Structure formats: C-alpha cells, structure tokens
C-alpha cells in the first residue's frame, strides 16, 4: 500500500465507484483494500450515507475498523450512528483499545453503554479500564495491547511468547520485562532479542535503565519526554511500578496536534477552534466570551484617553500618533508572548531559565525601542518640522516597547507559575492590555513635556 496524491485517489475512486454501482463486490474489495487506510478514509468521508451503507455490507468489521482509525473525530459520531449497533460494536472491538476509547469519548453516553453491552466481554473490559482514566493523562491515551516477558525466561522462551502475542500488539520494537509481581524492571529491543543466544536469560540481555511515565501524568509532558528521548513507545506504570500499558509514537503525534490546536485557539482568543460543521451561532458562542472581555478592556482605553482631554486640546496633533503607539505596543507584546508561551510549552526555559528569558526580552525591548524611537523622532521632525514633538513621540515609543515586551513575556510566565494555562494570555488580551499601557505612557510623557515646555517658556 502506498500514499496517494489527490488526483490519484480520485482516479482510484472512479474504479471503485463503478464496482459499487454494478455490485461487483470482489472488484470493489480488491481495489479498495489495495489502498492505504488513510486514503480509504479520505474517500469514505466524501460519500453519501447510501454509498456508505453499501460499503458497510461489502467490508468486514475489522476492515472498517482500519478506516475508522483515520477518520476525523468531529465526523465519527455520524458514522457510528448510521451503522447497525452490533456491527458498530464489532468495529470498536477491532480498533486498537486506545483509539476505541478516543472514539467512545466523542459519542453520546447512552450509545457508549449500548456498544459496551453488545461487545464481547474481553474487549469491553479493556475499553472500560481505559475509560476510567482522566482525560488528557497518560492513562487515557495508552494502549493495553503490548508484549511483556519475564526476566527469568530464556531468549528462546521469550521468542516463542513474542510470536504468540505479536499479532495483537500495538508495537513489538520494544519488549518490556516484568518481575513476578508484574513490576516493570527492564526493556529489550527486538533487535537485541533476535541476536541474543537462545539459552541466555532475559535478565542478562535486557537494559534495566528503563524510563516510564505514571498513569496520571499529563499527556503533553509524555509527548515532550518521548520527543526528547526519540522513543517509539513509552511504558505506563502505576505508583508501585506495575506495568499498565504503553503509549506509542502515533498517539503522541495526535497529542501534539491536539495541544497545538488548543494553544492556537487560545492565542487567537477563542475558547475552542471552530469545527467546519459549526453553525454561525455555535461559532459566535465560542468567540463571544473573549470579545466581551476585550470590549470592556477597550472601554478602559477610551476612558483613559478622555482623562487626557486637556492635553489633546492643547496639542491636537498628538491624536495622530495614538494608533502608531498602540499598534507598536500590541505587536511587540504579541511577539514576546509567542516566545514565552513556546518556551513554556516545549520546556526549553529549563531550571532557572525564566529569569534569563525575561532579561533577554527586556534587552530586546530596549534595543528595539531605541532604534524605533530614533527613527520616529527623525520622521516626525522632517514631517512636522517640530523637534519637540519628535522627541516626545520617540520617547513614548522607546518606553512603550520596553514595557510592552516585558508584559508580553511576564504575563504568561506568571500564569504558568500559578498553574494557569499560559496560552490564555492570548494575543488579543495582551494587545488590549498593551493598548492601555501605551496610552498611559504616551499621554503621561506628553503631559510631562507640555508642563516642562510651559515652565521653560514662562
């Protein structure tokens, strides 16, 4: 099976469609099953319910399970609701346990109970065990389909055991070693197992320096750990080191996509990324809370400007530069915010690295402020012919960039310190806060300059 380009997928589908229309089951199965499950899923998603019903009758639950593992989650409930309940339960039983749990979490609770009742007891028990774990933890994304061997076994015995268990395992590249009480004591790679002598004990060839994660660990921490160590799988244990399951690299990729999508939505000031099938009302409901908060913060900005009405009446041209000052503050604050949130999300700041990050951003704000301040001073002087006004705007830009950069960097760090998701310090939020700061600085400097100018001239 190979990955198909979009035009190749459509050419393939024409052949499959003809076979469906003419009820040539063998030809349909030959063409469809030759494709990679990802391409099968892409084609499946484009079909009408009538065509999908026909596909359900032509494929076995196990073959449909391969397709369902590559379907977008927002569509999964539709497909399982249109299947015969017994067929759907069998499909879930044939899907890897961790993926089945993810799918069931998207379904109505009554449907979940119904499917688990119909399903065979062994599969239902494995799924129920994982459903109990808190969402977004290691336990919720692990699979119980893995291979373990005993430390006291010989290599020959382990290979025989592996041949028996491998067909149902999620991966066999790492084989985990447990003691008599099922505590994780080591790991051995498939390669090392193959090249070892048959009569060697597993305890002699395994590595006892095995890294694991706790069942309650956050999924983002697990993903970061697997990324750092380049693992294809990670064992999951309880507080007594009993082996409970494994997390594979494909699950981690899903986690990274989910977390990135979640952070993006928060940085955009949205409670959740809009689904493509959301109505206008549903989308508005997700976006409205942040917009209302930002509306009231915007009113604070307007209120601040009104307090400097005398200054504006004195020098009306100051109003021209309000968008410039506020825009620069928002831009530099958002840049610093992105750096800080990324540093926290990836763990790059490390121990004691937060102070270094803040110091670096302060230096960045100072350098950018000095350069931009000098440039705007020259522009205003040649444009308006007033060096006094140029210096006023230049100093305002300098002060604003320094403070806004520090705000963008420190707000997410403070939130992180208090165990609040730093991504909620979203771009719109930081921009509005920096608008308020920039207005205070700009008119504060302007008022001070006017008072100084009056003092000098008098």
User: Could you report the per-residue pLDDT of 120-131, keeping only the tens digit for each?
Assistant: 888 888 888 888
Instruction: Find where tokens 């089945």 sit.
Output: 100
Q: Which of 101, 110, 89, 106 is nearest to 130 (CA)?
A: 101
Q: What are the tens digits of pLDDT across the range 408-443?
A: 888 877 777 777 666 555 556 677 777 788 888 888
**Per-residue pLDDT, 318:** 76
**Per-residue pLDDT, 337:** 78
Mean pLDDT across the stretch 54-64? 93
Confidence of residue 276 (pLDDT cuts 50, 70, 90): low
Compute CA 129 distance to the chain's CA centroid, rounded to the nearest angstrom. Answer: 25
Q: What are the residue boundaries of the structural domains of the chain, listed by start? A: 6-133, 148-255, 280-457
Output the average pLDDT for the chain: 82
Q: Does position 346 have pLDDT exceeding 70, yes or no?
A: no
Mean pLDDT across the stretch 283-295? 67
Sheet with 233-237: list strands edge to edge: 213-214, 233-237, 243-248
Compute CA 89 distance to the chain's CA centroid, rounded to the nearest angstrom. Answer: 29
pTM of this structure: 0.59
Contact 422, 341 (CB under 8 A): yes
Contact 255, 280 (CB under 8 A): no
CA distance 349 to 255: 21
**Record: fold of 148-255:** CBS-domain (3.10.580)
CA distance 306 to 312: 9
CA distance 156 to 198: 5
Confidence of residue 458 (pLDDT cuts 50, 70, 90): low
Q: If one looks up domain 280-457 in CATH, what number appears?
A: 1.10.357.20
**Per-residue pLDDT, 188:** 94
3-state secondary structure of 429: helix
**Record: fold of 6-133:** MgtE N-terminal fold (1.25.60)
**Per-residue pLDDT, 201:** 94
**Per-residue pLDDT, 237:** 94
**Per-residue pLDDT, 424:** 56
Integer angstrom CA distances of residue 52 from 23, 43, 56: 14, 10, 6
Confidence of residue 194 (pLDDT cuts 50, 70, 90): very high
**Per-residue pLDDT, 371:** 94
Mean pLDDT across the stretch 171-190? 92
Q: Which residue has the higher pLDDT, 367 or 320?
A: 367
Q: Does position 354 have pLDDT exceeding 80, yes or no?
A: no
- What H or E segment, with its residue span, contains residue 148? strand 148-150
Q: Which residue has the higher pLDDT, 265 or 355?
A: 355
């Amino acid at each position: 099976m190979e990955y198909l380009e979009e035009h190749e997928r459509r050419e393939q589908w024409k052949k499959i469609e003809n076979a469906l229309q003419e009820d040539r089951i063998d030809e349909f199965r030959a063409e469809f099953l030759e494709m990679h499950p990802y391409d099968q899923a892409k084609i499946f998603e484009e079909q009408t319910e009538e065509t999908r019903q026909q596909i359900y009758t032509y494929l076995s639950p196990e073959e449909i399970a391969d397709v369902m593992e590559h379907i977008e989650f927002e569509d999964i409930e539709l497909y399982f609701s249109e299947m015969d309940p017994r067929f759907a339960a069998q499909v879930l039983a044939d899907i890897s346990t961790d993926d089945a749990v993810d799918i069931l979490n998207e379904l109505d609770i009554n449907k979940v109970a119904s499917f688990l009742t119909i399903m065979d007891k062994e599969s239902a028990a494995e799924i129920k065990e994982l459903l109990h774990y808190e969402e977004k933890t290691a336990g919720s994304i692990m699979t119980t389909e893995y291979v373990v061997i005993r430390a006291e076994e010989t290599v020959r015995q382990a290979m025989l055991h592996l041949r028996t268990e491998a067909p149902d395992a999620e991966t066999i590249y790492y084989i985990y070693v447990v003691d008599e009480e099922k505590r994780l004591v080591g790991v051995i790679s498939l390669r090392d197992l193959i090249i070892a002598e048959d009569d060697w004990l597993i305890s002699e060839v395994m590595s006892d320096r095995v890294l694991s994660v706790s069942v309650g660990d956050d999924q983002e921490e697990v993903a970061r750990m697997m990324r750092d160590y380049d693992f294809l799988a990670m064992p999951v244990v309880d507080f007594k080191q009993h082996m409970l399951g494994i997390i594979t690299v494909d699950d981690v990729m899903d986690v990274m996509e989910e977390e990135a999508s979640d952070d993006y939505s928060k940085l955009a000031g949205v409670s959740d990324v809009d689904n493509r099938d959301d109505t206008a009302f549903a989308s508005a409901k997700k976006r409205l809370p942040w917009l209302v908060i930002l509306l009231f913060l915007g009113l604070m900005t307007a209120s601040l400007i009104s307090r400097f009405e005398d200054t504006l009446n004195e020098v009306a041209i100051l109003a021209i530069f309000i968008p410039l000052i506020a825009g620069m503050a928002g831009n530099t604050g958002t840049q610093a915010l992105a750096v800080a949130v990324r540093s926290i999300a990836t763990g790059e700041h490390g121990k004691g690295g937060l102070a270094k990050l803040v110091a670096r951003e302060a230096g960045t704000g100072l350098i950018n402020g000095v350069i931009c301040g000098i440039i705007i001073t020259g522009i205003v002087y040649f444009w308006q012919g007033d060096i006094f006004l140029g210096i006023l705007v230049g100093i305002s830009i300098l002060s604003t960039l320094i403070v806004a950069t520090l705000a963008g960097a420190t707000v997410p760090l403070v939130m992180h310190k208090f165990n609040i998701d730093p991504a909620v310090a979203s771009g719109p939020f930081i921009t509005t806060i920096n608008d308020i700061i920039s207005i205070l600085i700009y008119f504060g400097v302007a008022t001070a300059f006017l008072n100084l100018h009056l003092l000098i001239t008098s």
